[in-house]
Amino acid sequence: MIRGRYMRRHHGRHTNGNNVRPGVSPNHPMSGRYLHTVGSPPAQTVYYHWRHCYQPGHLRWTQPSHLQHRLSSFSTVRHPSSRPPRPPDPYNWSYWRQTGILPHTQPRRGLQLSAGLMDHSNSEPPRKRKRSSDRRQAGEDLQCSHERSPPKGSRIPKGSPEWLHNVTCTPVPPGKFPSSPNESPSTPELKRHWEDLSHLCTAAPSVNGGRQKWPFDFSVMSYNILSQDLLCDNTYLYRHCHPPILDWRHRYPNIIKELDKHSADIMCLQEVQEDHYKQQIKPSLESLGYHCEYKRRTGLKPDGCAVVFKRERFSLVSCHPIEYFQHGIPLLDRDNVGLIVLLQPIDPRCSLTNICVANTHLLYNPRRGDIKLAQLAMLLAEISRVAQLPDSKVCPVLLCGDFNSVPWSPLYHFIRDSTLEYDGLTIGKVSGQEENPRGQRILSVPIWPRSLGISQQCQYESQTTDSDLRDLERAEPDSFTKASIEHCLKLTSAYSHYLKESSQPEITTCHSRTAITVDYIFYSAALGDVMAQAECSVPPEKGLQLLGRLSLVGEDELQKVNGLPNQHNSSDHLPLLTRFRLHPQEEQKHLRVS
């Protein structure tokens, strides 16, 4: 699920959550006022019960006894320390029917509180609503609504297919979701096949003292599983879905079934909701033989990143969580995180180098490419430190996650080409998420301040005082004045981003607003690897060779299954699955490329 922060910041980290529209009393919320003026009897009934239990002075919901232990269809167990109980959405008709306050009849069609998708090219980009730590700090709880509307003037994003426009432009009653015209009662399963690339690179086993040594093959998955809290806060993105398939009680078994089916040796998961992770996901994966590491987003965000691996195949050397939020640096004021683990392959037959696995979920906001690049620089600097070998080179690296950037964008090229010349590059074009981004503000030079402690080569700098920084800047005048950044990692994408059969773009995420690629598995490609660039490859024993991957799909295939999520795929992202080969350190001479 592509995600972002669009609220304008004022002075400091936390803004006033009690701001009230002029002319509106803070003790008389707009939602209540609007319902109160609606003449339909159901609306008046809902308003009476909502106002009876809502305490505006405390900005919280006091749940009456007759409504306790009743769950809406989008309910999700939350950690008790996260926030006070959430008040029900007064426009969520299904909730009020389940509590018995409203009969199970269709509400009056005249109450249209949510507009369809706007197809205007001159409007703004789609925005995923966030859980605002600012508003929570002030005590304002955010509601889980069946029918959130997109922000005013939202624009069709890059890659949004026409069939999704048609689905979402249909006016629907509150709490209802339109269906695709081509949808059948039982949605067919999405067909993905395994692309075998092993015949392009083979390695003969070596013999050392009469004992054969074989290469180490393993599989890797990257998967944004869609946080239930974020789904609830952005339901306007899922109007094409039937409500039952969005219920966590349906989604969780599907997700675990999918993870178990693919049984990857290493899995990098994004949007893993903390309470679900602790109570359900982690216990389930541990029972399947996995070791789990997790890093929740900072602030009061409910989700984070997880890296899990099979205990019989790897042992944990070290774990390194990364928080992109940095006090005192205005550019880095977002709550995204990363997680890096250093793993030792377990194979008694041969000696193998460690593998550095990094997982992240970068900021969504298409107009803040400067923040994305700064977050990425922090991640690359930590990878370079963790993966460093005694000879100053780096061990094989796997960089996975949701980068909220499309293929061939400047950010993508920076990862793949190890360098980016950004002179005159506008901030809105860094991620390539929009065809014609608004605003002409260009990236500053340097992008991030030197006080961050990371050089333009994405390496950690030694701790220095302000006077030391001034001396360094005088000694190296071009180091932070040149519009160029680089990194030392040689990384290649495991996917080609185009379908082999039709040459159409591959898609990794799809919902009511867009269908594009934002998820990747980058890796240190060994010399002779099928995806490697000649200038971006490393010796076989210090790199990885791609043996195969689970194919992605295009718009046509997604249209047949009514997009994502659907009956069988319970996230708005598809899992990426690859298989790699790591060669023993002593067996370099036995590598043979066909």
Q: In a structure prediction context, what are the per-residue pLDDT tens digits for the chain, which is 594 residues long? A: 544 444 434 444 444 444 444 444 444 444 443 444 344 455 555 555 555 554 444 444 445 444 444 433 343 344 444 445 555 665 565 565 666 655 554 433 322 222 222 233 344 445 555 544 444 443 333 335 445 566 554 555 555 555 444 443 333 333 333 343 344 457 899 999 999 999 887 555 555 555 666 899 999 999 999 999 999 999 999 999 999 999 999 999 999 999 999 999 999 999 999 999 999 999 999 999 999 999 999 999 999 999 999 999 999 999 999 999 999 999 999 999 999 999 999 998 888 999 999 999 999 999 999 999 999 999 999 999 999 999 889 999 999 999 999 999 999 999 999 999 999 999 999 999 998 888 889 999 999 999 999 999 999 998 655 666 566 556 555 667 899 999 999 999 999 999 998 999 999 999 988 999 999 999 999 987 888 776 666 777 789 999 999 999 999 999 999 999 999 999 999 999 999 999 998 644 444 443
The neighbour count for residue 508, using CB atoms within 10 Å, is: 25
What's at 89, amino acid-wise? D
User: How is residue 521 written in tokens?
Assistant: 């598995």
Residues with Cβ within 8 Å of 201's Cβ and at least 6 positions away in sequence, in order, are 528, 529, 530, 545, 547, 581, 593, 594
**Stated length of the chain:** 594
Q: Is 6 exposed, middle or buried (0-12, 13-18, 19+ CB in 10 A)?
A: middle
3-state secondary structure of 374: helix
The neighbour count for residue 360, using CB atoms within 10 Å, is: 24
- Confirm whether pTM is higher than 0.75: no
Q: At what angle do helices 369-386 and 410-417 cross, to 10 degrees?
A: 20
- For 241: left if phi > 0, alpha if psi spans -120 to 50, otherwise beta; the answer is beta
